[in-house]
């Protein structure tokens, strides 16, 4: 039987982390609360040292190792930085294996904390295997990303903080990859003495990486055959026996969100909360916005990390705008005559639309001899606005349809 973390483990982790962590008090977002129709609070772990919650578990584990013992780990980013900083703070060498295609900002940040970075392997699982091999060969300590009691207890300090910061909260919503974070938070909520009702703890997975959902259905950890999600921080192929045991014991529910919901949540966090959050960190907010979390009382989303490549962030914001209906691309076929483009421009101006892109074609398989095709993209308020625009232009004689 798997040993679960205890309240003493959680309290000891909190004591070890005192003076190490940056404060991340939960705060209410008025704009997100209006949008969700219930009080929404945010736990900003993207402001934590290293840009994510991972320093909590990494430091709790590493600080208990023999003085001077080197550490190794495999990670694509957040765990790498947490281990690197924890090693530096405890005066030991760290070697981190990262995928060859790892984002350059994450690689440089890990090196910046003093770790030796080895770019080997195509995926994180290969990096973890190499890290374990090096640990066996050299006597260094391997630091797991989630499948470890000390790591889980460190992550669980977030739960202890939330019980004090927002005692009235009805639900705590946590991103789930391998399950270390949700295991720790849920254990803290379940084991801590509290007055009144306890908040529910809901884990949120990417639909393209439903690791825990698959494990719960199978009754054991299973390796996913395929992972497909922009949320690389929770793109894990399998949970572990220890995280699955904690989830079964303490987590109330696990839900999934799709890619459009995640990208919209990234956009929401930037626009409404002024928070730059990576896709994995926005998974909890995505579930709240998509009304996956039952109840009407206060709900807190753990924004677990903000280590996103600026180039990826640009793409995410664009994708989020599209998913939220903020763009409308139209294919308009009209008679080829002088002034037709100017006429269309006048109608778009009448509708007070900002034109983002225009393409003008006089040839194509779908066009008649005397026809011209205009592909135009405009800014819009939402999807309802799309319908208003299309109906107005049709009423003014345009043959119009959404562009594919």
pLDDT of residue 365: 54
Helices (H), 5-148: 7-17, 30-36, 54-62, 78-89, 104-112, 124-138
Cβ–Cβ < 8 Å for 141, 67: no
**By three-state DSSP, how is residue 46 classified?**
helix
Strands 299-303 and 27-28: unpaired
All structural domains of the chain with their residue ranges: 7-52+148-322, 55-142, 325-402
pTM of the model: 0.84
Q: Catalytic site residue 54?
A: yes
**Tokens in use for 389?**
């625009």
The Cα 404–Cα 364 span in angstroms is 15
pLDDT of residue 363: 63
Query: Which residues lie below 8 Å from residue 219, measured CB to CB, with a gap of 6+?
Result: none
Whether 7-52+148-322 shares its CATH topology with 325-402 is answered no
pLDDT of residue 210: 96
Crossing angle of helices 241-250 and 180-191, in 10° steps, is 40
Query: Which residues lie below 8 Å from residue 9, measured CB to CB, with a gap of 6+?
Result: 149, 150, 153, 156
User: How many Cβ atoms sit within 10 Å of the Cβ of residue 254?
Assistant: 21
Pick the catalytic residue from 29, 43, 52, 54: 54
The architecture that CATH gives domain 55-142 is 3-Layer(aba) Sandwich (3.40)
pLDDT of residue 82: 97
Class of domain 325-402: alpha beta
Give the dihedral sign, CA 255/261/266/270. negative
The Cα 130–Cα 125 span in angstroms is 9
pLDDT of residue 404: 58
Q: What is the mean pLDDT of each run of 10 residues along the chain (404 residues)?
A: 91 97 96 96 97 97 97 93 97 95 88 96 86 96 96 98 96 97 98 89 97 96 91 90 97 96 91 90 97 96 90 75 80 82 87 86 67 86 86 87 67
pLDDT of residue 212: 97
Q: Catalytic site residue 228?
A: no
Pick the catalytic residue from 29, 240, 263, 304: 304
CATH of domain 7-52+148-322: 3.40.50.1100
């Amino acid at each position: 039987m798997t040993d679960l973390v205890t309240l003493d483990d959680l309290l000891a982790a909190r004591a070890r982390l005192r003076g190490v962590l940056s404060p991340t008090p939960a705060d209410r977002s008025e704009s997100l609360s209006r949008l969700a129709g219930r009080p929404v609070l945010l736990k900003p772990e993207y402001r934590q040292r290293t840009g994510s919650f991972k320093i909590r578990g990494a430091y709790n584990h590493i600080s208990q190792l023999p003085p001077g013992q080197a550490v190794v780990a495999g990670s694509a980013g957040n765990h790498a930085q947490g281990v690197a900083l924890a090693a530096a703070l405890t005066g030991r060498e760290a070697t981190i294996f990262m995928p060859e295609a790892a984002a350059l900002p994450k690689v440089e940040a890990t090196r910046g904390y003093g770790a030796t970075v080895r770019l080997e392997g195509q995926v994180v699982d290969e990096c973890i295997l190499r890290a374990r091999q090096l640990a066996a060969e050299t006597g260094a300590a391997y630091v797991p990303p989630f499948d470890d009691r000390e790591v889980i207890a460190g992550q669980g300090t977030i739960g202890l903080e939330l019980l004090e910061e927002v005692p009235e909260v009805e639900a705590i919503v946590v991103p789930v990859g391998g399950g270390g974070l949700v295991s720790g938070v849920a254990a803290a909520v379940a084991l801590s003495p509290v007055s009144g009702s306890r908040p529910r703890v809901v884990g949120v997975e990417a639909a393209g990486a439903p690791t825990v959902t698959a494990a719960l259905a199978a009754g054991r950890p299973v390796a996913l055959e395929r992972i497909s999600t922009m949320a690389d921080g929770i793109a894990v192929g399998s949970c572990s026996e220890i995280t699955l045991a904690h989830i079964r014991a303490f987590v109330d529910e696990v839900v999934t969100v799709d890619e459009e919901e995640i990208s919209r949540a990234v956009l929401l966090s930037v626009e409404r909360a002024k928070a730059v959050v990576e896709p994995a960190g926005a998974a909890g907010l995505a579930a709240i916005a998509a009304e996956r979390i039952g109840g009407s009382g206060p709900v807190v989303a753990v924004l677990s990390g903000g280590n996103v490549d600026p180039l990826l962030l640009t793409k995410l914001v664009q994708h989020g705008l599209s998913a939220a209906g903020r763009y409308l691309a139209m294919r308009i076929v009209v008679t080829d005559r002088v002034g037709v483009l100017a006429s269309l421009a006048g109608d778009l101006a009448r509708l007070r639309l900002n034109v983002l892109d225009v393409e003008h074609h006089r040839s194509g398989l779908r066009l008649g001899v005397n026809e011209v095709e205009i592909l135009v993209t405009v800014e819009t308020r939402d999807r309802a606005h799309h319908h208003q625009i299309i109906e107005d232009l049709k009423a003014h004689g345009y043959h119009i349809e959404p562009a594919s």
